[in-house]
Amino acid sequence: MRPRTTIEKHSAMLLQRLAAPETASHLAANPASMVRLANALIDAGETARAVELAAQARRLAPEDPEIERIALLVLERSVPDWHHTILADAARNSAFDTALRRSVVPGSRVLDIGAGSGLLALMAARAGAAEVVSCELNPALAAAATRIVERNGHSDRIRIVAKHSRDLEIGTDLAGPADIIVSEIVANNLLGENILGTMEDVVGRLAHSTTRVIPSHGAMPIALACYGDLASQQLGSVQGFDLSLMNGFAARIGLSPGNRTLELRSAPEDLFSFDFSSGGPFTGDRAAVTLTSTGGAVNGIVQWIRLTMDAEGTTYENRPAPGASSCWSVMFQPLPCVRATQPGDRIVVQGRRDRTSVWMWAEAPAGETPVSSGT
Ligand SMILES: C[S@@+](CC[C@H](N)C(=O)[O-])C[C@H]1O[C@@H](n2cnc3c(N)ncnc32)[C@H](O)[C@@H]1O
């Protein structure tokens, strides 16, 4: 296959160079070149090779402070910084812990998709699982999770597998189908981390008829909203130049759910919702909901997520409210024009989705052209 982007071309070139026998012997004698190549591989999106090379360079020159520094930065760049944010979200962590404590029984075999730090796997082991297999596609995180599991004394029951879930196999990675599948591969728009594709695959291949899936359901509520700071964020004149065309690149704005200038102007409705535990297939790529205004200016639609963790009704929701906090942002999509609404005015919002993206637009009143934006 031909490389499609500059990054892919760059990556293909680096990998080709890396595969040459003379490169291997040159690098083995030059750990400084090796660690710099690791950094270039990160730029090219080749995280696994980069982490491997950085570790090798460190082993070859354990006392070299320059190599140590570059290797540490390669490791840092290989892991998105939102991992710290999600681990600090006590409500998120507690929703998963509650659901796992309710579901795990002695002897349970748990499959955790996307180990990250290993937190959910540790929760499952603490709840009494006999066996936890936790897969992680990012090799640096998988290595860190393995050490975290050891440090917390659960290596006897948790195995971190450095693989994408699609490469897991019963017999090789899991002794049998999982009794519980837990995952937190949820994006701000619910779908961006491919939870639908992953659930279709793992529930179909690695579960049995009574496997519990956590979260069992996910929904994408939306509401009419007025974001008070919108105007101040829009570009107009900058240093005497009209830069307003740049606003066309701000089709959606990620906000904290606790943003005090964001006010809901309708009750929420779910634009899309999914039963993850069914394993799909997840059909239905169009939706429409009617939102009834509570009155006042409406300058956008706001979308957030709601996760139902288990049949007992443990939920997590990052619904906008003054002072609310969440590791997930809510997505605000400005309307083309501010609408002055009366209580009871109805606005129809159309939605369309594919596996990982969602687009929504408000039907326009007469005389206004609809503009859609994606999340
Ligand atoms: C949002 S983090 C959650 C980490 C941890 N489970 C937690 O809740 O704190 C998702 C992690 O899953 C990994 N991941 C996403 N999809 C995956 C898949 N299909 N197979 C293996 N790892 C996956 C990502 O690399 C990331 O580290």
Q: Is 191 domain-assigned?
A: no
Looking at the fold, whether 304 and 337 belong to one and the same domain comes out as yes
Ligand 1: lining residues by beta carbon, under 6 Å: 86-87, 113-117, 119-120, 135-138, 141, 164-165, 184-185, 193, 198
Q: Which residues of the chain have pLDDT under 70?
A: 1-12, 14, 366-375
Domain count, the chain: 3
How confident is the model over 232-282, as pLDDT tens digits? 888 999 999 999 999 888 889 999 999 999 999 999 999 999 999 999 999
Which atom of ligand 1 is closest in space to residue 92's alpha carbon? Answer: 8
Mutate to test the pocket of ligand 1, among 87, 163, 185 (most ligand atoms within 8 A of CB): 185
Q: Is 258 domain-assigned?
A: yes
Pick from 66, 32, 37, 33: nearest CA to 49: 37
Among 50, 77, 104, give the residue marking a domain's end: 77
Q: What is the mean pLDDT of the chain?
A: 92
Looking at the fold, whether 235 and 351 belong to one and the same domain comes out as yes
Mutate to test the pocket of ligand 1, among 87, 113, 159 (most ligand atoms within 8 A of CB): 113
How confident is the model over 65-97, as pLDDT tens digits? 999 999 999 999 999 889 999 999 999 999 999
How confident is the model over 291-316, as pLDDT tens digits? 999 999 999 999 999 999 999 989 99
Q: For residue 364, what pLDDT is reported?
A: 80
Which atom of ligand 1 is closest in space to residue 141's alpha carbon? Answer: 27
Residues in the chain: 375
Among 143, 168, 184, give the residue marking a domain's end: 184
Q: For residue 5, what pLDDT is reported?
A: 53
Range of the domain at 109: 87-184
Distance 86 CA to ligand 1 centre (A): 11
Pick from 356, 241, 347, 244: nearest CA to 302: 347
Phi-psi region of 173 (alpha: psi -120 to 50; beta: other; left: phi over 0): alpha
Distance 116 CA to ligand 1 centre (A): 5
Distance 223 CA to ligand 1 centre (A): 29
Looking at the fold, whether 251 and 270 belong to one and the same domain comes out as yes
Looking at the fold, whether 119 and 164 belong to one and the same domain comes out as yes
Whose alpha carbon is nearest atom 19 of ligand 1? 165
Q: Do residues 326 and 257 make contact, with C-beta atoms less than 8 angstroms apart?
A: yes
Q: For residue 367, what pLDDT is reported?
A: 58
Which atom of ligand 1 is closest in space to residue 198's alpha carbon? Answer: 19
Q: Hey, CA dihedral for 187, 190, 194, 200, is it positive or negative?
A: positive
Looking at the fold, whether 162 and 228 belong to one and the same domain comes out as no
Looking at the fold, whether 342 and 262 belong to one and the same domain comes out as yes
Q: Do residues 353 and 189 make contact, with C-beta atoms less than 8 angstroms apart?
A: no
Whose alpha carbon is nearest atom 24 of ligand 1? 114
Question: For position 147, which CATH number holds?
Answer: 3.40.50.150
What is the spatial distance between Cα 133 and Cα 121, in angstroms, rounded to a whole number?
Answer: 8
Q: Is 204 domain-assigned?
A: no
Question: For position 256, which CATH number holds?
Answer: 2.70.160.11
Cα separation values, 344 from 50, 85, 290, 353, 363, Å: 57, 39, 11, 28, 16
Distance 212 CA to ligand 1 centre (A): 19
Q: For residue 3, what pLDDT is reported?
A: 41
Which atom of ligand 1 is closest in space to residue 182's alpha carbon? Answer: 6
Dihedral pair phi/psi, residue 258, rounded to 5°: -90, 10
Distance 35 CA to ligand 1 centre (A): 26
Distance 186 CA to ligand 1 centre (A): 9
The SS3 assignment for 258 reads coil
Q: For residue 4, what pLDDT is reported?
A: 44
Looking at the fold, whether 61 and 98 belong to one and the same domain comes out as no
Q: For residue 124, what pLDDT is reported?
A: 98
Looking at the fold, whether 233 and 360 belong to one and the same domain comes out as yes
Q: Is 148 domain-assigned?
A: yes
Looking at the fold, whether 227 and 354 belong to one and the same domain comes out as yes
Looking at the fold, whether 221 and 161 belong to one and the same domain comes out as no
Looking at the fold, whether 237 and 353 belong to one and the same domain comes out as yes
Burial track 114-153 (b if 16+ CB lie within 10 A, e otherwise)? bbbbbbbbbbbbebebebbbbbbbbbbbbbbbbebbeeee
Looking at the fold, whether 177 and 231 belong to one and the same domain comes out as no
